[in-house]
Structures are given as structure tokens and as C-alpha cells.
Amino acid sequence: MDLAEIPADVLPRFAKDPAFTVMENPGFWGYRLRFNMEKLPEFKKEELRQAFAYAINRQDLVDKIARGAAIPGSMGILSPHRRWYNPHLSPYDHNPEKAMGILAGLATGPRMSYELLVGGDREVRIGEILKEQLDRVGIKLRVVSVNMKARDARMGKSKMYRL
């Protein structure tokens, strides 16, 4: 075998076996949170998207979903290990207090509620973690699991903003 993607929980077995050479490199896959700005025009406000960015603990997602075998996502479409990534962009560190402060300054009502489309088991788990994290800052998230084809079709019909 020349190349295989090994789940983080079984990787130590291969690393200890002298019959295998384990080489770790950043993967090509990443997950993006997309906002439907046509259906939900409040997402045109940069401050609301910033509140989401501060509310989400990306390291927690790495630890719980990838068992530490990943890097937290960036705010753009490129991850930090890509050569086109702009290292001068300001990061959004996990800061729920700042997220709540931003939300308090927006005239969006006492509680916001949104739907998150997910496809596949891993995305469902990510969605549930996001639901917990966002709930802590006052954003209610309903995780809706659909098959990947249906999810992609629904997302392809709208202009989305990626986080």
C-alpha cells in the first residue's frame, strides 16, 4: 500500500509496527460553515458572522471529531498550510464573551434560531458540537441531516458566505 488515510484512533498501531512507515501530512479535506445570505439577509452583517466565528471553538472540534489529528480551520477558504494562505489575516480566537457582546449590540431579537444542513455521520457530530457551542452564546441551531446529494443541491441553489 502506498497511501492510506488512517483514522487517528488506530494510527498508533501502525506507528508502532516496524513494517509500516507513517508519514503525516495535512489532508485535503476541510469543513466549512456556509450562511445563506439570500434567505437570511441578517448574515450580510459582518458583525453577526464575526459572532459565529468567536462562538465556535475550532480546537474543540479538532479534539472531538479528529481526535487531535487535524488543525483548526481558518476564516478563509484556504487552510494555513497552503502556500496561498494569507498569514496576515486576523484570526478569530474562541471568545464566547466577545460573541455575546457582539450579539447584544445587534438588533436581532432575544434569541436567534437557524437550521444547519449536514450530510453524513461526521457532519452530524460536527453539527451537534456546533449546536452546543452556539447555544452557549444565545444562538439556537437545529441540525438537519440529509443525504449529501440533497444537501449539496440545496446549497447550490443559493449564494452562500463561507466561514
- The whole-chain average pLDDT of the chain stands at 82
Q: How far is CA 67 from CA 9, 61, 85, in A?
A: 7, 9, 25
How many helices and strands (H and E) does the chain possess? 6, 4
Q: If we measure between CA atoms, which residue out of 129, 130, 120, 118 comes closest to residue 154?
A: 118
DSSP state of 42: G
Lowest-pLDDT choice from 1-5, 10-14, 92-96, 129-133: 1-5
pLDDT value at 79 more than 90: no
Res 91: pLDDT: 81
Rounded Cα–Cα distance for residues 133 and 130 (Å): 5
Domains of the chain: 36-162 (3.10.105.10)
pLDDT reported for residue 27: 63
Hunting for cell 455521520 — which residue is that?
121
Query: What is the average pLDDT across 99-105?
Result: 93
Greater pLDDT, 60 or 163: 60
- Kindly state the percentage of the chain with pLDDT values over 90: 31
* CA distances, 134 to each of 64, 113, 127 (Å): 16, 10, 10
